């Protein structure tokens, strides 16, 4: 899936210390300044945008650790 939308939401809700444009799809978002609290805001924004609900089983640090990992999870949920 295209990661443009995810990047857009990361920019508005991720409160990262680095510009999202400088991140690769596999960059570690926690290294880029993603906090636990910002993860919650990010999660809710992704749910609204993609009309999904992350089940408890994927609510882990790993799911939100990179753009790729977010995209894979969303793909699994929208299959």
Partner 1 sequence: MCNSHSTIEGQYDEYREELIAAGMLIPSGVSGVYGLSGTFEGIIEAFERYISRQGAPLKPEVMRFPPILNRQTYLSTDHIETMPDLMGSIHTFKGSQREHITMVNKKEDGEDWTTELAPADVMMVPAACYPLYPTAANTVLPEEGRIVDLRAFVFRHEPSPDPARMQIFRQREFVRLGTPQQAKEHRDYWLKKGQEILKSVGLPVKAELANDPFFGRGGRVMAATQQEQELKFELVVPIASNEKLTAISSSNCHLDHFGKEFNITTQDGNHAHTACIGFGLERITLALLKTHGFDLKQWPDEVKAVLEL
Q: CA angle at residue 20 from 18 to 25, to 5 degrees?
A: 115
Q: Is 46 in the site for partner 1 (CB under 8 A)?
A: no
Binding part of the chain for partner 1, among 11-19, 21-29, 36-44, 66-74 by CB under 8 A, reads 36-44
Q: Which of 44, 48, 75, 78 binds partner 1 (CB under 8 A)?
A: 44
Q: Which of 4, 37, 51, 79 binds partner 1 (CB under 8 A)?
A: 37
Q: Is 33 in the site for partner 1 (CB under 8 A)?
A: no
Q: Which two tokens stand for residue 75?
A: 């793909």
Count CB neighbours of 78 within 10 A.
10
Please name which of 22, 39, 42 lies closest in space to residue 30, comparing C-alpha atoms. Answer: 39
Contact indicator for 26, 68 with CB cutoff of 8 Å: yes
Q: Which of 12, 31, 60, 78 binds partner 1 (CB under 8 A)?
A: 60
> Where on the chain is the footprint of partner 1 (CB under 8 A)?
36-37, 39-40, 43-44, 54, 56, 59-61, 63-64
């Amino acid at each position: 899936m295209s990661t443009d939308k995810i990047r857009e939401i990361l920019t508005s809700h991720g409160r990262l210390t680095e510009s999202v444009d400088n991140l690769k799809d596999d960059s570690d978002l926690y290294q880029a300044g993603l906090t636990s609290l910002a993860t919650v805001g990010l999660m809710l924004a992704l749910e609204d945008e993609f009309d999904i609900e992350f089940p408890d089983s994927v609510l882990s640090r790993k799911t939100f650790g990179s753009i790729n990992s977010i995209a894979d999870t969303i793909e699994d949920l929208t299959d």
